[in-house]
A = this chain, B = another copy of it.
Amino acid sequence: MFLSDKIKCMDEGIAGVRKAIPEVPADVGLCRIMLLIAERLQAELEHKLRPHKLNDSEFRTLIALFAHPNGTSTPGEVCLFTSLGVTNMTRIANALVKRGLITRGPSAEDRRRVVMQITPAGKRFVQKMLPSMLPRLKLLFDGFTHNERSTLNRLLRKLAHNLSKLEHTAGDSP
């Protein structure tokens, strides 16, 4: 089922709810559409990776190492850049090691730490893979003017800012 059909159904559904409980604002539609888009976007990102038996988390991890000086970093630091949970990193790194795209070993300076390093094969993979994703990315923003892109960017960051403020407040007060 296509995303546009899902959105149509969602619109209908929300219209029904708002008829039953009129104080529900139209903004819930905005939220739901973002969730649907994100879901589909994630699927789109994984589309190219699947044939190579990698998922998006693993790819992000690989890219984080790629973009790092010496191609080395530690699990905790990689998680900062990728927004992945540290507890997932063990499994993700295992998978990448098994695929020969990174190596992993104990750190010399701090024996609590582990250093992950991208291998030459890993670098080649990123350098081949990343550009091959760009045409579809271009299509994704097809018809967007420069202005629209920057407006979208601004509005999303504004929303993110509000979300961050919400994180501070417990939220079950009144």
A34 CB to nearest chain B CB (Å): 6
What total of chain A residues lie within 8 Å of the partner, measured CB to CB? 82
Number of copies: 2
Q: Output the nearest chain B residue to A159 by Cβ-Cβ distance.
A: B37
CB atoms of A9 and B83 under 8 A apart: yes
Bound-state CA distance A2–B169 (Å) is: 12
CB of A95 within 8 A of chain B? no
Instruction: Please classify the interface of chain A as helix (H, G, I), strand (E, B), loop, or mixed, using the class held by over half of its residues.
Output: helix
Q: Output the nearest chain B residue to A6 by Cβ-Cβ distance.
A: B83
**Residues of B close to A130: CB separation below 8 A:** 17, 21, 24
A-B contact pairs, 23 of them (CB 8 A): A3-B160, A3-B164, A4-B160, A4-B164, A7-B160, A17-B63, A17-B130, A25-B138, A26-B149, A27-B137, A27-B141, A29-B153, A30-B149, A31-B140, A33-B156, A34-B156, A37-B160, A40-B167, A47-B171, A136-B171, A141-B159, A142-B165, A144-B155
